[in-house]
Amino acid sequence: MPIASLPSVPESSANSLASTAATANANGVPEAASAAGKRATRRTGLLQGFSAYGLWGLLPLYFFLLAPAGAFEIVAERILFSLLFCLILITATRHWMKVLAIVRQPKLLFTLGLAGVFIYINWQVYLLAVLTGRVLEGALGYFINPIVTVLLGVLVLRERLRPLQWVAVGISFIAVLVLAFGYGQVPWISLALAFSFGIYGLIKKRLGNRVDALTGLSLETAWLAPVAIAQLAIVASTAGLTLGTLGPLHTIAIIGSGVVTAIPLLLFAGAARRLPLITLGLIQFVAPLSQFAIGAFLLHETLTPERWLGFGLVWVALLVLSADMLSSGRAARREPPELV
């Protein structure tokens, strides 16, 4: 479940848009029409955002349908069928020139390969967690992810944290210590998910708007295709593949894993173009909340006092971080626009 950055708008483009809007109002176009358009755009973005995170939140239930396929088979087939689905979409939308333009830029192409490595780690660890009855640890990883994203901004991008952000990071660190004590070991699944997804998001942020969602996912999965093929060969020679051996419904479900992977990412890209980053950041908690409910109430995973305390601390940290995001967003909106 990657967190992409909103594309930046060049200052000249922003000034041009402002000038165009002013001209339109001067020519008699009602400002209410512009406001209605913005509300419609926001509604579409919210629908896309909630749909994306809602689908990500239900992924554990979908993966259970693929049993008895193992985590390594599912991830390999997920990669290959995601690539196939993306190629079909690229052909249908005639986006091949965009793909070729990226392929001609080695640095950009290799950066997408690096992004593919981290999303592969994320997918593989998450499938291992789900299929071994550790959905709660997976949910915790995605609860921790926003904190990791903030921390990576400090360590890699040299961004400066506001006081409430430091508080959120500190509370999250204490939560990890509490959970490590409760588990008797470091919660490596949660940390691996949080950091792999966080680094993936960082790479996507550095790419900015140079690569659209469909082209990016296509090339990331293309890089991973040889790994997926090798992984399937190993599974076939050891445990054996389930694809095509358990009836048409199971085969369709496995093929559908590619669609289930690609659609939320494309919905997210649409939401990212229409919503402020603050709003998008708050929506993302839909997914881990759904996963937590699945693990706790449907699968009846054990919730010890230490786990409750650890999750509680993480939720407090997220509330602090959300409050900071909302307050900083309101402050930014109150600032008067610069005169040009």
Q: What is the pTM of this model?
A: 0.78
pLDDT of residue 278: 57
Residues with Cβ < 8 Å from 57, sequence gap 6 or more?
Answer: 286, 287, 288, 289, 290, 291
Distance, CA of 306 to CA of 316 (rounded, Å):
15
Distances (CA, A) of 257 to 170, 243, 318: 37, 12, 30
pLDDT of residue 79: 95
pLDDT of residue 332: 57
Distances (CA, A) of 77 to 193, 243, 258, 293, 303: 20, 9, 8, 27, 33
Backbone angles phi, psi at 159, to 5 degrees: -75, 155
pLDDT of residue 72: 96
Interhelix angle 135-155/163-183, rounded to 10 degrees, is 140
Backbone angles phi, psi at 301, to 5 degrees: -70, 150
For 268-325, the pLDDT digits (tens) are: 877 877 776 556 666 777 888 888 889 988 888 888 888 888 888 888 888 887 788 7
Tens digit of each residue's pLDDT, the chain (340 residues): 544 443 444 444 445 444 544 444 444 545 566 777 787 888 888 898 889 889 989 999 999 999 899 999 999 999 999 999 999 999 999 999 999 999 999 999 999 999 999 999 999 999 999 999 899 889 888 888 877 877 887 788 777 778 887 888 888 889 888 888 777 778 899 999 989 988 988 888 788 778 888 998 999 999 999 999 999 999 999 989 999 899 999 999 999 999 998 898 788 877 877 776 556 666 777 888 888 889 988 888 888 888 888 888 888 888 887 788 777 766 655 655 444 3
Which tokens in the block code for residue 248? 């048409």
Distance, CA of 211 to CA of 217 (rounded, Å):
9
The answer to whether the CB of 189 falls within 8 A of the CB of 141 is yes
pLDDT of residue 331: 64
DSSP symbols for 4-18 = PPPPP--HHHHHHHH
The answer to whether the CB of 212 falls within 8 A of the CB of 272 is no
First to last CA, the chain: 39
What is the length of the chain? 340
